[in-house]
């Protein structure tokens, strides 16, 4: 017999955004590892594949020509150009997955978030992570040891621009400590899953209770 926790529901598109270095990737990995009902939305990109990456798992790696064709055919929920490379979210698999109750995690910036929300407001949940301070953010970027001073300066400039769009999100979480931030993000996801509008099996269940 169905219970409130096993009822059919519509999936959601869970967007996690942050400026570079604010913990978005770490929180995303923890969420995917700790929750079997959500999977990563795999974007198409024109950037070169990095060592260790797998085509179709990390990204769908495509040529500029193929990406332009997909844009022209309206095959993306959203797309953007970042640091000279294009990134986009293909529609086909996600639409069917949402109907089946599959949740998708999106690691995209504020531009992609805005596009996605405009096309499908009912299924989108927007979460923005903030660093505890701008100094802490710069320390995190410098501590990686992978970027030059010029690249870090460019990332800091972009970070300030991204932070200015914080009010375009449903939830804003300050990532002062990774585990506490993760718990908060996970609680947001669980609460959104339980919204009445997403519980497609709720009408039949309630009618059964009233017989």
Gap between the Cα atoms of 160 and 138, Å rounded: 11
pLDDT digits (tens, 9 = 90+) for 181-196: 999 999 999 999 999 9
Q: What secondary structure, in 3-state letters, does 113-173 show?
A: HHHHHHHCHHHEEEEEEECCCHHHHHHHHHHHCCCCHHHHHHHHHHHHHHHCCHHHCCEEE
Confirm if 181 and 175 have CB atoms less than 8 A apart. yes
Token readout for 206 is 């309630």
pLDDT digits (tens, 9 = 90+) for 49-59: 989 999 988 89
Position 82 scores a pLDDT of 82
Domains of the chain are 13-199 (3.40.50.300)
pLDDT surpasses 70 at 4: no
pLDDT surpasses 60 at 61: yes
Q: Mean pLDDT over residues 85-99, rounded? A: 90
pLDDT surpasses 90 at 1: no
């Amino acid at each position: 017999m169905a219970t409130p926790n096993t009822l059919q529901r519509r999936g959601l598109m869970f967007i996690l955004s942050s400026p570079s270095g604010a913990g978005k990737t770490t929180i995303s990995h923890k969420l995917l590892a700790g929750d079997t009902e959500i999977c990563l939305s795999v974007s198409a990109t024109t950037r070169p594949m990095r060592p260790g990456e797998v085509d179709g798992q990390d990204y769908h790696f495509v040529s500029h020509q193929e990406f332009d064709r997909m844009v022209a055919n309206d095959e993306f929920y959203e797309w953007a150009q970042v640091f000279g490379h294009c990134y986009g979210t293909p529609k086909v698999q996600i639409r069917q997955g949402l109907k089946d109750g599959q949740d998708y995690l999106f690691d995209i910036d504020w531009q992609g978030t805005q596009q996605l929300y405009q096309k499908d407001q009912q299924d989108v949940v927007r979460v923005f992570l903030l660093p505890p301070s701008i100094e802490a953010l710069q320390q995190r970027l410098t501590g990686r040891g992978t970027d030059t001073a010029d690249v870090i300066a460019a990332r800091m400039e972009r970070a300030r621009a991204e932070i200015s769009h914080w009010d375009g999100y449903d939830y804003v979480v300050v990532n002062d400590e990774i585990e506490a931030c993760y718990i908060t993000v996970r609680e947001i996801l669980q609460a959104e899953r339980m919204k009445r509008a997403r519980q497609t099996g709720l009408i039949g269940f309630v009618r059964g209770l009233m017989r």
